[in-house]
Amino acid sequence: MASTLFSPKFTLAIAAASALWIMLASGEDHAVKAVGADEALAKLKAGNERFTSQPASKGRPNAARRAEVAQTQHPFAVIVACSDSRTAPELVFDQNIGDLFVIRVAGNLVDDYGMGSIEYAVEHLGARLIVVLGHERCGAVKAALAAPTAPGHIGALVRDIQPAVQATADKAGDKLALTVHANATAVAAKIWKEAHLGELASEVKVVTGYYDLDSGVVEWG
């Protein structure tokens, strides 16, 4: 019995079944046509305009929306944002659950996990716009400006923001704001260079944004 269970024929059958399951799952992901990058950016800009000009959000989750996205998701954009509690992309862009695929870490950095998440969102969920969203008075960038090293795992954040610190070392102006912009640009370049987007690369756009904590306005890079 044991030899039958672990025979090459049985193993191939399991592999085929697994491949079929993956194909079916992927087919569900692609059932809805992807929102183009330009259209997605327009939706984000309109959402941010609502956020800054209206007293209440229109994108609040409700039972109907929760039921609508419970079985599948088709976010129209990927947002790489800072973990700062004041910069939640769903609020900043006045979007509902299921609209945005959000990756958040202090300093809006991307590691292998973040890169894999981006690749998944593009390949399987249909996202064609990737936004790297920096923000005013970012604590992670401020720490990187203060010193090239830091204790514990914060040191990894400070280390990876150092290229932006060096890029703005000789520039005049608000050093923190300049470095936040430079860091977002560097992260966007890293995504474009390292993410495996395959044939979909021609459909994808990577842009940067800068969120003003005081006004709520997103300035686009």
Q: What is the pLDDT of residue 28?
A: 47
Instruction: Give, for all 221 residues of the chain, the pLDDT tens digit.
Output: 444 444 554 444 444 444 444 444 544 454 557 999 999 999 999 999 999 999 988 888 899 999 999 999 999 999 999 999 999 999 999 999 999 999 999 999 999 999 999 999 999 999 999 999 999 999 999 999 999 999 999 999 999 999 999 999 999 999 999 999 999 999 999 999 999 999 999 999 999 999 999 999 999 99
Q: Same domain, yes or no, for 23 and 69?
A: no
Backbone torsions φ then ψ of 84, nearest 5 degrees: -45, 130
Q: What is the pLDDT of residue 63?
A: 94
Q: Same domain, yes or no, for 25 and 131?
A: no
Distance, in Å, from the CA atom of 21 to the CA atom of 23, rounded to the nearest integer, reads 5
Q: Same domain, yes or no, for 4 and 66?
A: no
**pTM, whole model, 2 decimals?**
0.86
Domain of residue 51, residue span = 33-220
Q: Same domain, yes or no, for 108 and 162?
A: yes
Q: Take residue 201 and report the two structure tokens written for it.
A: 């690369």
Helices 112-125 and 175-194 pack at an angle, to 10 degrees, of 60
Q: Could you tell me the CA-to-CA distances from 206 to 1, 76, 165, 168, 175 in Å, in that order?
A: 55, 13, 22, 22, 24
Q: What is the pLDDT of residue 32?
A: 59
